[in-house]
Amino acid sequence: MGEGMEDQVELWSATDQARAIRDGNLTSRELLERILYRIHAVNPTLNAVVTLDEEGARRQADAADDEALRGAWRGPLHGLPITVKDALEVMGMRSTGGSQALADHIPAQDASAVRAVRDAGAVIIGKTNVPEWSGDIQTFNPLFGTTHNPWDTARVPGGSSGGAATAVACGMSAFEIGTDIGGSIRNPAHFVGIYGHKPSFGLVPQRGYLDHVGGGTIDADLNVVGPLARSAEDLALILEVIAGPPPELAPAWSVQLPPATGSAASDYRVAVWFDDDVCPLGRDVGAALHAAADAVADAGAHLTVTHPPVDAARQRDLFMTLISAAVSVSAPDPVAELMAGSHRTWLTLTEERARLAGTWARWFEAFDVLLCPVMPTTAFVHDEAGSIADRSVVIDGALRPHFDLLTWLGMIGVIGLPATVVPLPHATDGLPVGVQVVTPYLRDLDAIAFGGILAGAAGGGYRPPPIARQ
């Protein structure tokens, strides 16, 4: 529990909130009312929550409390009020993907991950803002407007899970379910100072993901669904709930994640890859990351400055080509055809991706964890002119395209590896900064466990933004 947060239950970790409900020290209705109060207090300034069903939420919370009195616990998330990123379908609740084309879309069923958290006891109260079709590293759309960073409202909260991350940071949700096709969980976690986990590709079903009209019936290439939260422990709790096969494979398949291999810094062999000319870091971000690495080394981790034997520029370019194809479903013709390329080209690049994944897997035989940046900058000032392809940001006096900011995110995402973002002590500009903790495929619980160890050693972890301390 953070300093000064003892009586602010809406800012506790989801794990602590769930424990308090289970122990009879807190009811779901009490927690819900605190969260609703927080939404009414700060959301008019931040615009993170764009759809809210207060009466439906109260009915759900009261039902959860009635069940608790009977000892009928639905699961580990029993009674926790949450919002859901508006890129995921929620049964009976407006779900738009940030697009006017789905302004009146009321799904008849939940997305797979939403159904999993609902079945585990979560109380779903509303939806959080996204850029249209989740296609940006900031969060605004013509339907709901702009979401602001709670540390500085002149700045972006990241994207595409910018509304989700802001809601978690400010106690407007116990936790969130986000999506990440090019960094959409990791970038907002980095920009607003919370925890986020990009699962191994394929670990969590994507059904119900809205990336175009009629979407959500198949899994999108590169994309994953994962948690955003206020502690590393929360990430593991939620991931264990949402991991599983897609619905049609559930009769025959199940998922059992390997447990974390260690509980202390000294249990891990850690590689550090912070410096690369392909995507150099701003001074503020670089200083924060190097200080964190020094701290976890002092705590006993076995650190080596090295990285896999790959061409970073080629791996970034592979990501950019494949994500262009993956998101082409939301583009108008004939632009979509240019973005998608041919099926033969996609197959050739997928073979290259498989070779790269093999190189990384062999390299990881000598290491348990790779630390690398999330982005080369802290949150930048809102810029809604043109498109993401037109925009740039100045980092240490140099103009850098927005697409360049995706480099570290894309290099990890393109080969489907798990990555946990943990908040570190703030950069010298006073803004949040995170680091990616990357592990071998399906070693998600190691990424989360070491992320918690790193945050503790570095003196980081969740801190409520100023707007959430009122």
Residue 1 has a pLDDT of 46
| Euclidean distance between CA atoms 320 and 341, whole angstroms | 13
By C-alpha distance, which of 107, 108, 117 is closest to 87? 107
Residue 6 has a pLDDT of 74
| Helix, strand, coil content of the chain in percent (nearest 5) | 40, 15, 45
Contacts of 283 (CB under 8 A, 6+ apart): 396, 428
At 33, the amino acid letter reads E
Q: Do the domain assignments include residue 216?
A: yes
By C-alpha distance, which of 455, 269, 459, 253 is closest to 364? 269
By C-alpha distance, which of 227, 103, 92 is closest to 168? 227
Q: What are the angstrom distances between the C-alpha of 401 and each of 31, 154, 325, 389? A: 42, 20, 20, 8
Helix, strand or coil, per DSSP, at residue 361: helix
Range of the domain at 301: 9-468
Burial class of residue 261 in the structure, from the number of CB atoms within 10 Å of its CB (0-12 exposed, 13-18 middle, 19+ buried) = middle
Q: Do the domain assignments include residue 248?
A: yes
Residue 3 has a pLDDT of 45
Q: Do the domain assignments include residue 3?
A: no
The pLDDT profile of the chain, 470 residues, written as one tens digit per residue, is 444 577 899 999 999 999 999 999 999 999 999 999 999 999 999 999 999 999 999 999 999 999 999 999 999 999 999 999 999 999 999 999 999 999 999 999 999 999 999 999 999 999 999 999 999 999 999 999 999 999 999 999 999 999 999 999 999 999 999 999 999 999 999 999 999 999 999 999 999 999 999 999 999 999 999 999 999 999 999 999 999 999 999 999 999 999 999 999 999 999 999 999 999 999 999 999 999 999 999 999 999 999 999 999 999 999 999 999 999 999 998 899 999 999 999 999 999 999 999 999 999 999 999 999 999 999 999 999 999 999 999 999 999 999 999 999 999 999 999 999 999 999 999 999 999 999 999 999 999 999 999 999 999 999 999 998 76
First to last CA, the chain: 17
| Euclidean distance between CA atoms 91 and 84, whole angstroms | 11
Q: Are strands 369-373 and 195-198 parallel, antiparallel or unpaired?
A: unpaired
Q: Indicate which residues carry an active-site annotation.
A: 85, 160, 184
At 136, the amino acid letter reads D
Q: Do the domain assignments include residue 2?
A: no
Q: Do the domain assignments include residue 36?
A: yes
Q: Do the domain assignments include residue 272?
A: yes
Q: Do the domain assignments include residue 96?
A: yes
Backbone torsions φ then ψ of 254, nearest 5 degrees: -140, 170
Residue 2 has a pLDDT of 46
State the residue for tokens 């973005």: 339
Q: pTM value?
A: 0.98
Residue 5 has a pLDDT of 73
Total domains in the fold of the chain: 1
Burial class of residue 70 in the structure, from the number of CB atoms within 10 Å of its CB (0-12 exposed, 13-18 middle, 19+ buried) = exposed
CB 453 within 8 A of CB 439: no
Q: What are the angstrom distances between the C-alpha of 399 and each of 7, 402, 404? A: 45, 10, 10
| Euclidean distance between CA atoms 127 and 102, whole angstroms | 14
Q: Do the domain assignments include residue 318?
A: yes
Q: For residue 15, give the CATH number of its domain.
A: 3.90.1300.10
Q: Kindly provide the residue ranges of all beta strands, DSSP E only, lying in 105-190, ordered along the sequence.
A: 123-128, 140-141, 145-146, 176-180
